């Protein structure tokens, strides 16, 4: 088992959780008192982490929400990463993908500079654009396979070798997984694709966005996507947890929402075992 998978599995079992909270801060949605804080993004994230770190397996930081704020946003992101407990997985959602030399720089930035445990990567340019990330054998690499956006079908459902393109991606990533640190991104809004993806890549962990505000089918995700132990998934929710309340109790409300999601997932995992 790779160091990354060992870390992921350890925290999944310790916290009894497949919940991944997306720390995607939108200052326009912060409670009014917090909007006046000089460190609003960091303060918001810190409060969420303090309330949820014991009931999640991972946090996913989408870099766009930090880059848009310029250097101050990236500084807030770095401070946020340092505040996350060391046993919880920290995932950099950057969806990087470029020629191999540039990909090496992206991998160094995400893993060496920022210190993420895992990153999301776009495979459109083929293996040499992904390999620099996979070469970090102690880090996870979640490769876009079947995404949750409405127009994903324009390319991802195209037939290649008799299969949808996303199945070919899953097969390729399974073949690239020499170090046991590869995974796939599969949107919850396309849960029907999980059967063919699991057939193509039975052992890979799946990062599942699209639960919550995007309305993904959680029951289908668990039934079709979990491995034989009821694991192998990171189920991400962002807005439905971060903005469960717009008041001063936003962090406490976030905990309630994350706990409700964890409990719903665990109930479905138990039913799947029957």
pLDDT tens digit sequence for 141-192: 999 999 988 898 899 889 999 999 999 999 999 999 999 999 999 998 777 8
pLDDT tens digit sequence for 1-59: 899 999 999 999 999 999 999 999 999 999 988 988 889 999 999 999 999 999 999 99
Per DSSP bridges, beta strands 159-160 and 163-164 are: antiparallel
DSSP state of 184: E
Largest CA distance in the chain: 56
| Long-range interactions of 114-118: CB distance < 8 A, separation 24+ | 114/77, 114/78, 114/81, 115/81, 115/90, 116/61, 116/81, 116/90, 116/91, 116/92, 117/4, 117/7, 117/89, 117/90, 117/91, 118/4, 118/89, 118/90, 118/91, 118/92, 118/142, 118/183
Name the residue ranges covered by the structural domains of the chain: 3-273
Q: What pLDDT score was predicted for residue 229?
A: 87
Catalytic one of 35, 95, 171, 273: 95
Question: Residue 86 catalytic?
Answer: no
What homologous superfamily does CATH list for 3-273? Aldolase class I (3.20.20.70)
pLDDT tens digit sequence for 194-234: 999 999 999 999 999 987 655 568 998 999 999 888 999 99
pLDDT tens digit sequence for 227-269: 888 999 999 999 999 999 999 999 999 999 999 999 999 999 9
How many residues does the structure list for the chain?
Answer: 274
60 within 8 A of 91, measured Cβ to Cβ? yes
Among residues 128, 84, 75, 138, which one has the least CA distance to residue 106? 128
DSSP three-state, residue 143: strand
Q: What DSSP line would sit under 46-105, residue for residue? A: HHHHHHHTTS-SEEEEETHHHHTTTHHHHHHHHHHHHHS-TTSEEEEEEEE---HHHHHH
């Amino acid at each position: 088992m790779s160091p990354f998978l060992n870390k992921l599995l350890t925290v999944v079992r310790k916290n009894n959780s497949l919940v991944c909270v997306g720390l995607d801060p939108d200052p326009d949605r912060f409670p009014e008192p917090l909007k006046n804080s000089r460190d609003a993004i960091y303060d918001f994230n810190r409060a969420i982490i303090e309330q949820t770190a014991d009931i999640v397996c991972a946090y996913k930081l989408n870099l766009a929400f930090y880059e848009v704020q310029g250097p101050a946003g990236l500084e807030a992101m770095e401070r946020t990463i340092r505040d996350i407990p060391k046993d919880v997985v920290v995932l950099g959602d950057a969806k990087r993908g470029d020629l191999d030399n540039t990909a090496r720089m992206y991998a160094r930035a995400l893993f060496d500079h920022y210190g993420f445990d895992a990153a999301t990567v776009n495979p459109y340019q083929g293996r040499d654009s992904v390999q620099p990330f996979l070469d970090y054998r102690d880090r996870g690499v979640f490769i876009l396979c079947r995404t949750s956006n409405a127009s994903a079908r324009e390319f991802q459902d195209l037939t290649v070798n008799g299969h949808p393109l996303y199945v070919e991606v899953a097969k390729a990533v399974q073949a690239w997984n020499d170090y046991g640190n590869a995974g796939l991104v599969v949107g919850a809004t396309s849960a029907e694709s999980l059967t063919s993806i699991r057939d193509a890549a039975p052992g890979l962990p799946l990062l599942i966005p699209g639960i919550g505000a995007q309305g993904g089918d959680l029951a289908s995700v668990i039934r079709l996507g979990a491995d034989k132990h009821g694991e192998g998934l990171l189920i991400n929710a962002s807005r439905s947890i971060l903005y469960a309340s717009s008041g001063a109790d936003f962090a406490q409300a976030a905990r309630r929402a994350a706990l409700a999601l964890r409990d719903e997932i665990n109930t479905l995992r138990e039913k799947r075992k029957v």
